A and B are shown apart, each in its own frame.
Chain A
Amino acid sequence: MQTEKKQELSKFSTDSDIPVSSFYSEDDLKGWDQDKELGHPGRPPFTRGPYETMYRGKLWTMRQYSGMGDASQSNRRYKYLLSQGQTGLSVAFDLPTQLGYDSDDEIAEDDVGVVGVAISSLEDMERLFAGIPIDRVSTHLNINATAPVIFAMYIALAEKRGIEVRQLRGTLQNDILKEFLARKAFIFPTEASVRLVCDVIQYSVDKVPEFNPISVTGFHVKEMGASSIQEVAFCLADAIAYSDELVKRNLDFDSFAPSLSFHFACGRDFFEEIAKFRAARRIWCRIAMDRFGCKKDESARLRFFSGGSGAVLTAQEPINNIMRSSLQCLAAVLGGAQSIHVMAYDEALSIPTEESVKICLRTQQIIAYESGVTKTVDPLGGSYFIEWLTDRLEAQIVAKMEQIEKAWGGMANAVIRGFPQREVIERAYKQEIEIESGKRVVVGRNKYTTTTKTRIKIQTPNERAALLQKRRVRSLKKNRNQKLVAESLEKVRAASKDRNVNMIPALVEAVKSYATVGEITSVMKEVFGTYKDPGLVI
């Protein structure tokens, strides 16, 4: 029996290269302390889930990432999604907005409204949420380098609508460190960038306490090619970096920790992803308690959004992606996600159509209402394999985090030097070679292939909306109180120069005067400079 087990170890591994035995028994959990490692749902170490009743009390939020063209077009799509059962919004912004350029900027020419919605001013935000009750529908704003500006707009919008800002719910991605590492939509150098992240968090904790001012994200790192171990390690290390910075500002960990949220990918290794989410909760709980000495349970509770995984979907036989996405969604549910995005079948080809995104919602709804998996909390808890794998992942993630701290000097330092990037690309390269050799099977791509191409309708960029948006921004710039704009921009400049000043109040005033994303970012660039990606020595 034992030799058989040993032979199997070398042939089978998880996606993150953990060797898997042919079967698991209580022998694999010798010395495992159930009370310490598993515990009770809703209580430290939160392995089983951040809440006691989980989906019995409240289902996860069905939150499809969405945005296109101009604010009016996106507004129509959001209303469609809400009518099809989406329970929370998630805004995708176009590249110019993410990078601090206005729609009418020459550099933005080809990219306005292509991968997300074009937002250049408060006026655009007003149109984006026209007829949508933002006091009742929670919104994720997936924005990072320009998060402080978009956050200011969201606050200004609430004030204009007479909504009590203290009760405003929502989430900002606002995680700049992962931009340097994987997503690459950065603007300012690292120090200024981290300052801005913390300005947002500090302001939010004080004035918008129902809001999640950050969604610390591992998703893009995994999509880039990282293992689940690297994904969680880099993500939690980023959370530590931000927490350390906030503690340096004399903020009590318990004052901001409950409003930290997280965002992970959900890849193709079903059980590994489930175990990963459980391990992440346990690890963060221990960090919150042991490293930061938190005094309340809420500070140690990791809540996360699952973004699925586009990187494992194929352009070939796109309908197959529905099955892949369904498995990802099921894994996220069994892993206890608080909100979920499901990748559409046409993800490899374009942003979703109404048809393809509807299927994403139906996937979530079928799992929620028909499969029965929501009837009990953490149904896989106690499985020999799942508990063994959760332990294994925890050990490897913690070891990786130790390397980040001791050998790399923390994430802010590591990303400038390219340490994590090199590791991730090396892994992405090896995986691609394995796909080309057939060792890593991708159905429809390197196994069971056909020559016939599936014809599907895809969403194409709305050139007319882009043109209208450019005109709109040009017109806005001519028809404002220019004196007010100039004054407010000077206040932004002054606030930027003093790192002891929180930038948000100046930004709220600026967006209210209809200063644009590009104008505000330009002023900040003059003060902070811009980050020059050193490229990588390949």
Chain B
Amino acid sequence: MAKPGLDGHDKGALVVSRALRDAGFEVIYLGLYGTIEQIVQVAIQEDVDVIGLSILSGTHLKVARRLIKEIRKRDGWEVKTAIGGIIPEEDVQKLRRLGIDIIVPTGTPISKVGDLLRASLEK
């Protein structure tokens, strides 16, 4: 779980991370101010199943494009992607088309986020 860019409001990211722990996930919270490249690098090192990004600044589409591009550079690497935060309804489909697997707009019950991740991993 990470927050790219300059936004330091990580209450959402931390609370969701905590909920995922209760749902049986091991969460590595990378903190703030990471670049997509740095986040992806750690994801490979830690051999994660899901990369989760929390974005409240409205830059989710831009970030999604960058994330998918970074992942595709690593041929053969399988990882699921999740983006959560302030995502208007009309952008949910756009994110899916860009290749993001799990989308968690504000208002999604945190007790359900674990289920969303598992459903995607089982596909």
Contact = CB atoms under 8 A, between A and B. Distances in A.
Given A433-B111, A535-B30, A535-B31, A224 B6 contact: no
Nearest to A179: B8
A184 B32 contact: yes
A44 interface: no
A533 B28 contact: no
Contacts, number: 74
A4 B85 CA distance: 46
Nearest to B107: A315
Contacts of B8: 95, 183-185
Contacts of A99: 6, 33
Contacts of A534: 31
A526 interface: no
Name the residue in B6, B33, B58 with the highest tally of chain A Cβ atoms < 10 Å from its Cβ. Answer: B6
Contacts of B5: 110-111
Contacts of B6: 95-96, 99, 101, 107-108, 111
Interface in B14-52: 14-15, 17-21, 27-33
| Chain B residues touching A, range | 20 to 34
Contact of A184 (B9, B17, B109, B111): B9
Contacts of A183: 8
A110 B30 contact: no
Interface in A84-116: 95-96, 99, 101, 107-108, 110-111, 114
B106 interface: yes
B14 A428 contact: yes
B57 A110 contact: yes
B9 A433 contact: no
Contacts of B21: 538
B62 interface: yes
A369 interface: no
Given A95-B6, A110-B62, A533-B33, A538 B18 contact: yes
Interface in B50-72: 57-59, 62
B11 interface: yes
B101 interface: no
Interface string B1-15: 000011111110011
Contacts of A315: 106-107
9 contacts: A95-B7, A111-B7, A114-B57, A223-B11, A421-B14, A429-B110, A538-B18, A538-B21, A538-B29
Interface of B: 5-11, 14-15, 17-21, 27-33, 57-59, 62, 106-107, 109-111
Interface of A: 95-96, 99, 101, 107-108, 110-111, 114, 183-185, 223-225, 315, 421, 425-426, 428-429, 432-433, 436, 461, 533-538
